[in-house]
């Protein structure tokens, strides 16, 4: 069975392997032993903490094939971005140059460094091994986070953000960053990704332009990268757009990938989900898969299962109950995985 659970220290080797497989454009999981060990420790502390309002907590989950005991994917949530270090984006804006006498009117696109999205909850660290990108696993690994946040709203902001991985060429280089590297900071793309991934933002405030930048001054290839996602990110982008996430006129500082935004209570998975007590019995439905999650923290579990909705109960199998760590009468939150 495929389950989703909080990460533990025993998952370090698998997490490091995923960091290697994901590539240097995947900023939230850099290949850094100390960073990843601390990320696991911080996640465990976050799950265990008694939280009344969101702060610097970070929740990291793994997807596990319980048959092979293999960790096949990761998924994360940052409770309140910018709590530990400044959160930077470029805000896309417009400057008007107008003169009636000369009959000149120009609308010029600008990029301005900002901290506007500070305090948002961020979904992040989504990665699934290629062999498991089947049978709705990818959708489940992304969407279960909305169920988790819906169960524990005091731990999160109502503004949910997703930073999409920006475009990179066949050599793994970002044309957008290459222009900044040449004109503002002599740091290559891989190094910038590592610094972003480990939270070292000092170079952004010290080296990046602090005034609005006219995109017309950039190379065409750099401009073309604005709001353009990495090819491997397109499925995730499509899923979030289906959930109701919108472009918010913000892009990543180093790769120009779009930052998508939605209120938590307007996300389609949240609105379509139902929460009911469990009844353990034989299940007749074998057509529709549901994403189901319990309402626990350190013992949180989510999985794709078949179930029947019967009166005021969710009828699930004994196997599903064991995987989800629930007994008869416990509550599950579920949504169709389609």
- 130 shares its domain with 201: yes
In CATH, what number is assigned to the domain containing residue 283?
2.40.40.20
Looking at residue 24, its pLDDT comes to 63
Looking at residue 242, its pLDDT comes to 97
Mean per-residue pLDDT, 118-147: 96
Looking at residue 75, its pLDDT comes to 97
In CATH, what number is assigned to the domain containing residue 237?
3.40.630.30
- 326 shares its domain with 201: no
Looking at residue 38, its pLDDT comes to 96
What contacts 300, CB < 8 A, 6 or more positions away? 5, 6, 47, 61, 148, 293, 294
- 45 shares its domain with 17: yes
Looking at residue 257, its pLDDT comes to 96
Mean per-residue pLDDT, 246-254: 94
Burial 221-259 (b: 16+ CB within 10 A, else e): ebbebbbbbbeebeebbebbeebebeebbbbbbbbbbbb
What range does the domain containing 195 cover?
A: 2-90+113-269
Residue 218 pLDDT > 70: yes
Answer whether residue 319 is part of any domain. yes
Looking at residue 15, its pLDDT comes to 97
Answer whether residue 108 is part of any domain. no
pLDDT one-digit tens code per residue, 14-38? 999 999 888 766 777 888 899 999 9
Q: Are 200 and 30 in contact (CB under 8 A)?
A: no
244's tokens: 């109701």
Mean per-residue pLDDT, 146-165: 97
- 24 shares its domain with 172: yes
Q: What average pLDDT is seen over the chain?
A: 94
Share of the chain above pLDDT 70, in %: 99
Residue 195 phi, psi dihedral angles, 5° rounding: -65, -40
Looking at residue 255, its pLDDT comes to 93
Residue 179's pLDDT band (cuts 50, 70, 90): very high
pLDDT one-digit tens code per residue, 284-309? 999 999 999 999 999 999 999 999 99
pLDDT one-digit tens code per residue, 84-93? 888 999 999 9
Mean per-residue pLDDT, 29-48: 95
Residue 265 phi, psi dihedral angles, 5° rounding: -75, 0
Q: Of 229, 244, 269, which marks where a domain is finished?
A: 269
Looking at residue 185, its pLDDT comes to 86
Mean per-residue pLDDT, 229-257: 94
Looking at residue 145, its pLDDT comes to 99
Looking at residue 25, its pLDDT comes to 60
Answer whether residue 248 is part of any domain. yes
- Global pTM reads 0.92
- 13 shares its domain with 44: yes
CA gap 332, 313 in Å, rounded: 10
Catalytic positions, written as ranges: 230
Answer whether residue 95 is part of any domain. no
Answer whether residue 96 is part of any domain. no
Answer whether residue 221 is part of any domain. yes
Count of the separate structural domains present in the chain: 2
Answer whether residue 107 is part of any domain. no
- 10 shares its domain with 148: yes
């Amino acid at each position: 069975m495929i389950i989703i659970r909080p990460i533990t220290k025993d998952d370090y080797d698998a997490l490091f392997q995923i960091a290697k497989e994901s590539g240097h454009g995947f900023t939230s999981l850099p290949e850094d032993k100390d960073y990843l060990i601390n990320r696991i420790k911080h996640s465990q502390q976050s799950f265990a903490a008694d939280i009344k309002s969101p702060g610097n907590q970070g929740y990291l989950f793994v997807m596990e094939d319980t048959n092979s005991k293999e960790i096949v994917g990761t998924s994360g949530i940052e409770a309140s971005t910018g709590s530990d270090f400044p959160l930077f984006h470029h805000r896309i804006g417009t400057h008007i140059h107008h003169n009636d006498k000369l009959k000149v009117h120009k609308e010029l696109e600008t990029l301005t460094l900002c901290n506007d999205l500070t305090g948002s909850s961020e979904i992040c660290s989504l990665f699934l091994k290629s062999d498991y990108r089947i049978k709705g696993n990818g959708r489940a690994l992304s969407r279960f986070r909305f169920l988790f946040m819906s169960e524990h709203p005091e731990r999160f902001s109502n503004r949910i953000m997703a930073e999409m991985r920006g475009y990179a060429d066949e050599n793994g280089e970002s044309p957008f960053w290459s222009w900044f590297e040449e004109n503002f900071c002599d740091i290559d793309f891989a190094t910038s990704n590592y610094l972003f991934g480990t939270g070292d933002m000092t170079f952004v405030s010290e080296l990046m332009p602090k005034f609005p930048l006219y995109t017309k001054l950039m190379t065409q290839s750099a401009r073309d990268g604005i709001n353009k996602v990495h090819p491997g990110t397109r499925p995730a982008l499509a899923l979030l757009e289906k959930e109701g996430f919108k472009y918010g006129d913000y892009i990543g500082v180093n790769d120009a990938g779009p930052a998508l935004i939605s209120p938590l209570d307007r996300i389609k998975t949240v609105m379509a989900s139902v929460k009911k007590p469990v009844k353990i019995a034989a299940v007749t439905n074998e057509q529709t898969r549901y994403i189901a999650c319990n309402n626990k923290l350190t013992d949180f579990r989510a999985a794709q299962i078949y179930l029947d909705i019967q009166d005021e109960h969710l009828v699930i199998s004994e196997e599903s109950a064991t995987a989800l760590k629930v007994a008869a009468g416990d509550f599950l939150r579920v949504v169709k995985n389609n």
